[in-house]
């Protein structure tokens, strides 16, 4: 967690705020910023193994002893120390009253210091301590009175320890605590009163434990809580009455649990809730009143569950929902009114389900939807007007499906659509009116389909199209009338097709074309045009290095940067995680026999003298 996000109690000096942000960087974040001041001018001794810094403006002293391989606390810490950095050492325990003389200490960092235990009296005397970092140690347990000595604590970091239980009353009296992180321990149950008295708590992290059950009384009294993280536990259900006393909660993380059932009204009364993450669970169905009254909800994540169906109007109260994630479930169909009430929704993810059909007008009412992801389903066909009413849709993802054809009016109503992704279907049959009305379209990806021809009027309305991706189809020709409307297209990929010829007239209308890939076709000749080409991919064609290629040879020699011999293979994986693939961009002559195997650019001028 980043403590710098949350408000600090009044009176915490600016220096401490700065130090807290450094603390988030961990023990090694400090290198290079440590001030080096061997001894204070006023005679305060700095322990020999540490370095000390005095802030003249706030008149505060910080002592840095991070990562010094210490096995014992350094002696002689100056009594006026305000911030003490002891992280990254190897103290197995902290003896009683170790900091007794540091009554002015506000910040103490003991992260990653090999601590297996803390004496109950270890923190004796630290009445002014605001920020205590004990993360990444080996603490198994903490005695009930450990924090009795530090009533001023605002943030307490205990994540990444080995805590398996919390003693009743451990946090009693910490009325100023706003950030408590108990994540990544081994907690299995919590006492009913674990968080009693933490009236100021804003953020509670319990992620990464083994909690299987939350009792109704647990979060009572946390009236100021804004964020509750219960992700990565073993919760099996979300019961009613557990979260009701959290009127100010804004973010609730329940993802990566084993939740199979959400009780009706489980989230009742959470008017401030903006973000609810239930992804990566086992939820099989949702009731019509699973989410009543969540009027403030903006994001609802239900992806990676076992939802086999949706009921009509399940989300009807979520008037301000902007993002609904339903990907990676088992949805076979969408009922009528599945998305009723979601007038503010901007992102709807339904990818990786088992949808086989869409009903016409099935998304009506989603008037603000900008992104719709239907990739990796098995839609075989799109009914006419499937997307009616989605006038604000920007991006439509239909990749990796079973589409075999695009019928007329498939995309009717998508007057604002900018990007249409149809890669990896089996589209062989395209009606010439299927892309009608997509006047704002900028990018059309039809890569990896079964197209054998392009209807003459297919692109008629696509006067704004910039990217046209047709790679990995079975096209044997690019008809000039088809490409005619593409006045703005600057990127055209027809690699991995069966083009045998590309008549000069075909590309002539594409006056803005800059990038053209013709790799791996059956082209024998090509005249480089239109004039503005900046990059040509030509590898993998049986070039006939006769007079017809004279112009291409001249172009390649005059503009070597446009036809480099070696290029970064592009747009074939779309996978940023893969290292870039480098590929040859050879223009290898297949004929005449005397030139076979030579690169066109290496063929001597004399061969073209007679042309
Ligand atoms: C700490 O000990 C390790 C090995 O035991 C050594 O490599 C490292 O340099 C030591 N660090 C300091 C700051 O003395
Ligand atoms: C910490 O110190 C103990 C001895 O006190 C030693 O056995 C152990 O290896 C040390 N751990 C590290 C990480 O240096
Ligand atoms: C605290 O200060 C007293 C007197 O100044 C000194 O004797 C004692 O050793 C100090 N204790 C610690 C833990 O530094
Ligand atoms: C849509 O779903 C596909 C398939 O899982 C995924 O790869 C892609 O990242 C998603 N795109 C968006 C914008 O959500
Ligand atoms: C051309 O396509 C074939 C079959 O798809 C493939 O085996 C070959 O590697 C491709 N050649 C190039 C240069 O990409
Ligand atoms: C491309 O040309 C280089 C030499 O410039 C050659 O080593 C390589 O084998 C050629 N690649 C193909 C696929 O012809």
pLDDT averaged over the chain? 89
pLDDT tens digits, one per residue of 491-514 = 999 999 999 999 888 898 899 999
Looking at residue 531, its pLDDT comes to 83
Residue with tokens 């090694």: 28
Residue burial 127-166, b: 16+ Cβ < 10 Å; e: rest: ebbbbbbbbbbebebbeeebbbbbbbbbbbbbbbbebebb
423 C-alpha vs ligand 4 centroid, how far in Å? 12
Task: Output the pLDDT for position 423.
Answer: 97
> Beta-carbon neighbour count of residue 80 at 10 Å?
18
More confident residue, 245 or 415: 415
pLDDT tens for each residue of 339-374: 989 999 999 999 999 999 998 888 989 999 999 999
106, pLDDT greater than 60 = yes
- Predicted local distance difference test score (pLDDT) of residue 397: 98
- pLDDT greater than 60 at residue 430: yes
547, 611 in Cβ contact below 8 A? yes
Of residues 160 and 240, more confidence is placed in: 160
**DSSP 8-state assignment for residue 149:** G
Of ligand 6's listed atoms, the one at least distance from the Cα of 565 is 5
Q: Look at ligand 1, atom 1, and give the residue with the nearest C-alpha.
A: 69
pLDDT tens for 434-489 read: 999 999 999 999 999 999 999 999 999 999 999 999 999 999 999 888 899 999 99
Q: For residue 77, which atom of ligand 3 is closest to its CA? A: 14
Nearest to 203 by CA among 234, 182, 217: 182
Q: How far apart are CA 14 and CA 9, in angstroms?
A: 11
Helix, strand, coil % in the chain, rounded to nearest 5: 10, 15, 75
Residue 606 DSSP SS3: helix
Ligand number, closest to the Cα atom of 68? 1
The count of other CB atoms within 10 Å of the CB of residue 472 is 21
Q: List the chain domain ranges.
A: 535-610
Which atom number of ligand 6 is nearest to the Cα of residue 584? 1
List, in order, residues 6 or more apart from 531 with CB less than 8 Å away: none
**Token pair of 447 as six digits:** 């890569």
Q: For residue range 409-419, list pLDDT tens digits in order.
A: 899 999 999 99
pLDDT band, residue 11 (cuts 50/70/90): very low
**Arithmetic mean of pLDDT, 569-585:** 61
Look at residue 581 in the predicted model and tell me its pLDDT.
67
Which residue out of 78, 96, 101 has the highest number of ligand 3 atoms within 8 Å of its CB and is therefore the one to mutate?
A: 101
In the block, which residue shows the tokens 């408000």?
Answer: 7
472 lines ligand 5 (CB under 6 A): no
Reference 589, options 561, 555, 552, 558; nearest CA is 552
Rounded CA-CA distance 3/62 in Å is 19
Query: Ligand 4: which atom is nearest the Cα of residue 347?
Result: 14
Starting from the CA of residue 73, give the closest ligand: 3
Residue 14 has pLDDT above 80, yes or no: no
**What element of type H or E holds 15?**
helix 14-23
Share of the chain above pLDDT 90, in %: 75
Q: Is the predicted pLDDT of residue 38 greater than 70, yes or no?
A: no
Q: Note the ligand closest to the C-alpha atom of 423.
A: 4
**Confidence band of 32 (pLDDT split at 50, 70, 90):** very low
Atom number of ligand 6 nearest to Cα 588 = 14
Where residue 570 falls among pLDDT bands split at 50, 70, 90? low
Percent of the chain with pLDDT strictly greater than 70 = 91
How far apart are the CA of 137 and the centre of ligand 2, in A?
13
Interval between CA 101 and ligand 3 midpoint (Å): 6
What are the pLDDT digits (tens) for 267-318?
988 999 999 999 999 999 998 888 988 999 999 999 999 999 999 889 999 9
What distance in angstroms lies between residue 113's CA and the mean position of ligand 2's atoms? Answer: 10
- Which pLDDT does position 5 carry in this prediction? 35
- What is the average pLDDT across 181-194? 96
Query: What does the radius of gyration of the chain's CA atoms come to, in whole angstroms?
Result: 33
Is residue 66 scored above 90 in pLDDT? yes
CA distances, 251 to each of 46, 237, 390 (Å): 44, 18, 29
Which of the four pLDDT bands, split at 50, 70 and 90, describes residue 82? Answer: very high
Stronger pLDDT, 577 or 479, i.e. the higher one: 479
Residue 583 Cβ contacting ligand 6 at under 6 Å: no
């Amino acid at each position: 967690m980043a403590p710098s996000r949350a408000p600090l109690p009044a009176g915490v000096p600016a220096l401490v705020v700065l130090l807290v942000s450094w603390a988030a960087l961990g023990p090694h974040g400090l290198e290079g910023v440590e001030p080096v001041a061997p001894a204070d001018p006023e005679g305060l001794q700095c322990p020999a193994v540490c370095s000390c810094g005095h802030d003249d403006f706030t008149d505060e002293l910080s002592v840095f002893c991070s990562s010094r391989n210490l096995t014992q606390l350094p002696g002689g810490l100056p009594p006026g120390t305000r911030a003490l950095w002891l992280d990254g050492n190897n103290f197995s325990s902290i003896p009683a009253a170790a900091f007794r003389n540091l009554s002015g200490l506000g910040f103490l960092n003991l992260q990653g210091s090999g601590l297996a235990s803390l004496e109950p009296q270890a923190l004796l005397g630290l009445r002014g301590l605001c920020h205590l970092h004990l993360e990444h140690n080996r603490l198994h347990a903490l005695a009930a009175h450990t924090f009795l000595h530090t009533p001023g604590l605002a943030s307490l970091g205990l994540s990444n320890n080995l805590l398996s239980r919390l003693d009743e009353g451990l946090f009693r009296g910490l009325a100023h605590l706003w950030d408590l992180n108990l994540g990544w321990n081994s907690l299995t149950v919590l006492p009913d009163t674990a968080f009693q008295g933490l009236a100021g708590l804003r953020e509670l992290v319990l992620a990464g434990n083994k909690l299987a059950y939350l009792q109704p009384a647990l979060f009572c009294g946390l009236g100021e809580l804004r964020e509750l993280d219960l992700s990565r536990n073993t919760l099996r259900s979300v019961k009613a009455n557990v979260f009701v006393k959290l009127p100010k909660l804004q973010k609730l993380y329940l993802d990566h649990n084993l939740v199979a059932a959400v009780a009706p009204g489980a989230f009742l009364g959470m008017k401030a809730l903006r973000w609810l993450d239930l992804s990566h669970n086992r939820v099989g169905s949702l009731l019509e009143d699973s989410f009543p009254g969540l009027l403030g909800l903006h994001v609802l994540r239900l992806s990676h569950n076992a939802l086999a169906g949706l009921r009509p109007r399940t989300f009807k109260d979520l008037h301000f929902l902007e993002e609904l994630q339903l990907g990676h479930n088992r949805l076979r169909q969408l009922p009528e009114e599945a998305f009723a009430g979601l007038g503010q929704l901007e992102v709807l993810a339904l990818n990786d389900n088992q949808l086989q059909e869409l009903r016409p007008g099935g998304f009506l009412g989603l008037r603000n939807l900008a992104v719709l992801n239907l990739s990796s389903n098995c839609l075989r066909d799109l009914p006419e007007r499937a997307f009616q009413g989605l006038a604000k849709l920007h991006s439509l993802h239909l990749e990796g499906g079973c589409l075999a054809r695009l019928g007329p009016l498939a995309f009717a109503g998508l007057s604002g659509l900018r990007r249409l992704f149809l890669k990896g279907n089996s589209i062989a049959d395209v009606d010439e009116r299927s892309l009608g009305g997509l006047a704002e379209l900028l990018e059309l990806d039809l890569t990896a389909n079964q197209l054998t021809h392009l209807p003459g009027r297919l692109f008629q309305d696509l006067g704004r199209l910039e990217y046209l991706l047709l790679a990995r189809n079975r096209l044997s020709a690019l008809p000039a009338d088809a490409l005619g409307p593409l006045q703005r297209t600057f990127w055209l990929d027809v690699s991995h097709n069966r083009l045998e010829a590309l008549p000069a007239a075909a590309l002539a209308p594409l006056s803005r074309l800059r990038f053209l890939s013709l790799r791996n076709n059956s082209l024998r000749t090509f005249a480089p045009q239109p004039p503005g080409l900046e990059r040509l991919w030509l590898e993998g064609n049986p070039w006939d290095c006769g007079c017809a290629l004279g112009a291409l040879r001249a172009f390649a020699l005059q503009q070597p940067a446009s036809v480099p011999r070696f290029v970064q293979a592009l747009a074939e994986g779309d996978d940023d995680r893969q290292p870039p693939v480098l590929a040859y961009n050879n223009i290898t002559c297949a004929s005449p026999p005397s030139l076979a195997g030579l690169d066109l650019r290496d063929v001597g001028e004399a061969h073209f003298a007679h042309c």
